[in-house]
Amino acid sequence: MDSINAPNPPKEKSPVKWQVNEQLLQSYRNMFLSSQSFMLAVGAIAMGKSNLLMALLTIIGLLMIWAVWFPIVRSRHLIVDYHKYQLNSTSPDAKICTETEYVHDMAKRKETNAILGIKHEFRPTRFKIDLCLPLLYSLIWILLLAFQLSRPPA
């Protein structure tokens, strides 16, 4: 039997997997917040120096948010939910998808969420830290660049 058609292995309810992934999520958040704060400090220091430099810093800052922060934190928080809610599951015979399917397949994630009782993925704190904060950083980058470009040349 090939691996594609092999039945899914039984899911193990492991508090260790949840704890490790939760710690990784917190570490990623800290890393991104620190890197954005540092980049914004550099951007503020670069104000008035060069439009090209400010544009380059803005592009780097926005890429860090949209190409790195959002995808990494989003997938990690899905993995955390997968393991956390599985620990609390009261239906041992439920057909729960694999971790990879949960992260990458929206239909399977919705089925699993229904089985595990997950009503929505963004709890208030997660909404503020994982969505509002990066959007705020993005807005600050755009405003810094707009301010830089609106200044008359020296």
7 belongs to a structural domain:
no
9 domain residue, yes or no? no
pTM recorded for the entire structure: 0.78
DSSP 49-65: T-HHHHHHHHHHHHHII
In a domain, 6, yes or no: no
Question: Does residue 1 belong to any structural domain of this protein?
Answer: no
Give domain status of residue 145, yes or no. yes
Task: Supply the range of the domain harboring residue 89.
Answer: 15-150
35 with 72: CB under 8 angstroms?
A: no
Residues 3-32: b if buried by 16+ CB within 10 A, e if exposed:
eeeeeeeebeeeeebbeebbeebeebbeeb
One pLDDT digit (tens) per residue for the chain, 154 residues: 444 444 444 455 668 888 899 999 999 999 999 999 999 999 999 998 899 999 999 999 999 999 999 999 999 989 988 888 888 777 666 778 888 998 999 999 888 888 887 877 677 888 888 899 999 999 999 999 999 999 887 6
| 5 contact partners, CB below 8 Å, separation of at least 6 | none
In a domain, 8, yes or no: no
Look at residue 28 and tell me if it is in a domain. Answer: yes
**Could you give the number of structural domains in the chain?**
1
